[in-house]
Each structure stands twice: as C-alpha cells, then as structure tokens.
Structure 1
Amino acid sequence: MRALLTGPDAPSVPALFAAELRRYRIEARLTQDELAQRVYCSSGLVSMIETGRRSPNKDFTRRCDEVLGTGGALMRLWPLLTREAYPSWFRPFVEMEATATAIHEFEVQAVPGLLQTADYARTVIGASWPPNSPDETDRQLAARLERQEILDRESPPLLWAVLDEGVLRRPVGTPDVMRTQLDHLLDMAQRQHIRLQIMPFNAGVHAAMDGSFFVLDLPNREHVVYVEGPGAGRLLIAPDVVTQLRLRFDALRGLALSPADSADMIAATLGDL
C-alpha cells in the first residue's frame, strides 16, 4: 500500500480505500464482475465501494485481500475505516477503552455497546433522528461490533456493568431481537472476566439518577471517567471527579441485584417475551 497522505488535502479514508481497491483490482486484471464473483457479492456492490458510495464490511475487505493478493493492505485500512465511523468526540474514548484493564459502566437507556447483538445495535443506531443513510448505519454498526473484539482477547479487560431494569423492559426491535439480546447477555455474564448486575426499579432512587457513565482503569494505574449527552461526550481526568464517580459506581454495585439474581431477572424477562 502506498504511503498515506496527511493534512487538509488528504483524501478521506473511504475514498482512499475505494482508490486502493480499484488499483489492486486493475493490477489483478479483473473486472468488477469477475471480482464480485470471486468474493461472493454483486458487481453493483463492488462498483459502489469503488466509487465511495458504500462502505465495505470486514468480510468483503478480507476476501478482497485474499483474491487480489494484496498482502493484507486493505485490511490494514480497516481500523481507520471503523474509526472514522465514530463521531470525533467519541474517538478518544474508544482508543482509551481499547487499552483499559477494567471497564466499569452504568447504563440507563440501552444494553452497553460492548454487549449488544448485531440486530439490537442496528435497531438502536437506526433510531437516530434525523435518520442515518443505510450506508452510515452499516458503518456505525461495523464500528460497534469491532469495539466488542476487546472482550475476545486472550487477556481481555475486566467488564463490570450495572444496568437499570428499564434496559431489560424497553422493547428494542422485534420480540426476536430482544430475545436474542437477552440470551446474549446471559451468555456474556458467564464469562470469567464479566460481571453483570441489574438495578431494579424497587431499589428506588440511587447515586446515579443523573445518568450513565464509565470509569476506565488504564494500564498506568490511572483512571478516566467518560460521560455522554446528546451529540457530545467528555473524558474527565480531574482526580476529585474520578474519585466521586468511582465511589458512585461502588454504591450502585452495592444497591443492585447480585450477579446471580440479576441473571435470574434477565431470564424471567426473557421468559415473558
């Protein structure tokens, strides 16, 4: 792959991917139809990706590398493609999350992104207003699923999530989407490095009535807080703020159902669908 251009005149990552794909295809003396047949997709999809009208998914990118003999050049662009799908204010958090040794998360609206199924995530992303284009939805979905790969590492970060009961009760998508999502939560909760607790409605008021937040433990023994609102997010490193949110999370864990009782609540909710 050629050296990447930087600066204000540099092409966007999708445009760069499109140009590289077209170059490798031409060097391989393949037409769009021939490449499409070999990577098991339509020639229309190849055309849209080469003209920047559609973003590739990971399987397409990997197959193109194999068919075109690029030495993995296109897959090396993949992390840049997924990163560009995030809003600029979210990217620093994703980078820190990827290096964290432990992630503590309290959620009041939806299943945490790291624990979402593809169909659940697509429904959540698709609920935005003004609506995303189908291509933008695909890009954001691919980026969200890419984030989840940190949980499949040989040494994954510890994940401790406390979810408001409303997360289980709020229908997202069809009943099948919710059933699959709740099943997935139960499966993930069995992993050794994951703890999942539910904050039940009958717990009443609690220490985080003002909303969701993350506390990340970093390898250098530092801690970072992330909070998010409509259209913006903030990383907070002030020691007093970090200490306050760490104590708040401890209070939430103490008030929430135990991991075992939380699993029972998820299973009961699943049975009601």
Structure 2
Amino acid sequence: MKTLLLIGIGAGDPEHITVQAINALNRADVLFVLDKGQTTNDLVRLRLDICQRYIRAPGYRVVQVSDPQRDSSTPSYTEGVEHWHEQRAEVFARLVDEELADGEFGAFLLWGDPGLYDSTLRILDRVRAGGCDDFDYQVIPGISSVQALAARHRIALNGIGQPIRITTGRRLHAGDLDNVVVMLDAHCAFAAYVAENVDIYWGAYIGTADEILIAGKLADVCEQIKQAREAARLRKGWIMDTYLLRRTSH
C-alpha cells in the first residue's frame, strides 16, 4: 500500500512547523512540490528550505510538478473551482501512479493547515473516485494563518463567551462583523464596511520576512491596507493575507 502524508507547514515561518510534521517529513520517500509558476518561486523555495532544514533521513526524492491554474474568467466561481479540482486530481493520480512505489510514503507540504481552506483532501477523494485507490493518507495539522494572525497582533480571536466565524471575502456580509476572520479576499471586501464601528487586524505574508501588519479602526486604516496590499502584490506578484473584523462598542 502506498501512503500519502498531507503535512501542514504553517503560514510561512519555518519555525512554525510541528514536531509531528518534522517526523512525518523524515518518513517520506518522495516529496511532491506543486509549482504555481514564476511569480511564486519563493513559495517553492520555502518548501525546499524546510526539507533541507528538518529532514535527516537520506535518500528522499523531490518531485516538482506544475500546478494547474484556476481559470478566474469562468462566469461561475463554483464551476471554475470544480474544473480546477478535476485538473489537479489528474495530476495527483499520475504522481501516485508513476512516482510512488508500493510501500513508499509520499508527502505534500501544504500551507497552513490541511483542514482549513485547502483543497487537497477533496482532490484525493476525486482521485479515489476516478479509480486510483491503491493508497492511504494521513493528515498532519499545521499552524494556520488564522492562528499566526492572532499571535502576531497579540489578540484573542473571540470576545468573552462569544463565537468566531471564519469565512471568505466573497461571503462576508454586515451580519458577520462581531468576530469574523476573513481569508481568500482578493477584492478587499472589508472596504464596504468603513461606516460600521469595526476594528480590523490585518496581516499579509505572516511569518515571513515580507510580513506586513496593520491594525486599527477600519475607517482609519482601510485605505492604508488597500495601498499596502496592492503595492506588495505588484512587488511580489502574489499575496496571501488574512484579517479579523471586530465590532466595537465605542
């Protein structure tokens, strides 16, 4: 039986990787690295740096493969994601079939935590449904950008006795503003709520040398965040950011 290890590697700081993740890396015979293109070469480098830093077992192989790109021009977001997942499932099935021998361990190094806004588990379901089912898999949790955001801003995500909600920019609405963590917001959805009495705790590239942190009244820092975000995206070619919105009583 082949075994896949889905290893959460944190939000960017190599020191966020857990002991369980280090042990899993040292069990891997093959490390699968998905390359999203020239603009995200530093994401590939960080994965390779983690391997060089923590893997002590000799003889592992690194297999780097191009990751299919989601077509953002598709009118239906859901259909676009479904098609992207189908393409990724084909890549994953080929990797399992051609690059992993029976009895070997293959590892995917996944940003943050495999259970939070990551598609790998769903894609493996597709791989199995497509007939490639001669493998098992294990999930090794990681520190998510949500946890890293709270730590870097030195805040608790919830108020006393209050719940939190984790959503995307696409799904953000006014009823969410008590304690809401927002991920995958490509269009600064928070800007629609500057008239609300809301604080924002925003972070980009959390845990890396490029980290940017901004916090304050949304009405006061909204434009600062938008400008910093756009400048960083143009400079690096990509951006990963997360933020907490919290309604205030004053």
Would you call these one fold, judging by a TM-score over 0.5? no
Larger radius of gyration: 1
Q: Quick one: higher RCO (CA 8 Å, sep 6+), 1 or 2?
A: 2
Q: Name the TM tier (shorter chain).
A: under 0.3
- TM-score, scaled relative to structure 2: 0.23
Q: Greater helix percent: which structure?
A: 1
Q: Greater strand percent: which structure?
A: 2
- TM-score, scaled relative to structure 1: 0.22
